[in-house]
Amino acid sequence: MKGGIVYLSVEGFLDAHTFEMMDAEIQDQFEQGNYRVIIDLEKVEYISSAGAGVFIGNLSVAQENEGEIILIKPNDNVKEVFDLLGITLMFKICYDLREAVSAFPA
């Protein structure tokens, strides 16, 4: 098993102004060999396609390395954007940290 489980808590807006910071953080974890990533979205008030694109664009890299990107606690507005993009079923979305930890591939 490569790396441990990484927990990232995000706050504020994930839009065209901030998405690069989120992307850099995930890339940084990948470079350290951590491909099992939990991203806590509870404090994210708003997400645009630029923000969602970071998760979309990094998911396959995580999965190719026996990992996963698991999104937890998105609010209704964030979940609505995932639904509009049609990615709700492509990501593991959890509402509890314990559930998220046990959702990683064995």
Partner 1 sequence: MLTRGTLAISNSTENLPKVRSFVLDHFRKGPLPKSEENKIILAVDEAVANIIEHGYPADVRDGKIEVEIVGEMTRFTVYVRDEGSSFDPNSISDVDIENHIKTGKKKGLGVFLMRKIMDEVVYHFEEGKMNELKLVRYVPEKKKETPSGGGGQTL
All residues at 6 or more sequence positions from 43 whose CB lies less than 8 Å from its CB, including other chains: 9, 10, 11, 12
Between 88 and 97, CB nearer to partner 1? 88
All residues at 6 or more sequence positions from 38 whose CB lies less than 8 Å from its CB, including other chains: 5, 6, 7, 8, 70, 72, 97, 100, 101
- Please report whether residue 25 would count as binding partner 1 according to CB under 8 A: no
Between 97 and 104, CB nearer to partner 1? 104
- Please report whether residue 8 would count as binding partner 1 according to CB under 8 A: no
Between 8 and 97, CB nearer to partner 1? 8
Stretch that binds partner 1, among 8-16, 27-35, 36-44, 97-105 (CB under 8 A): 8-16
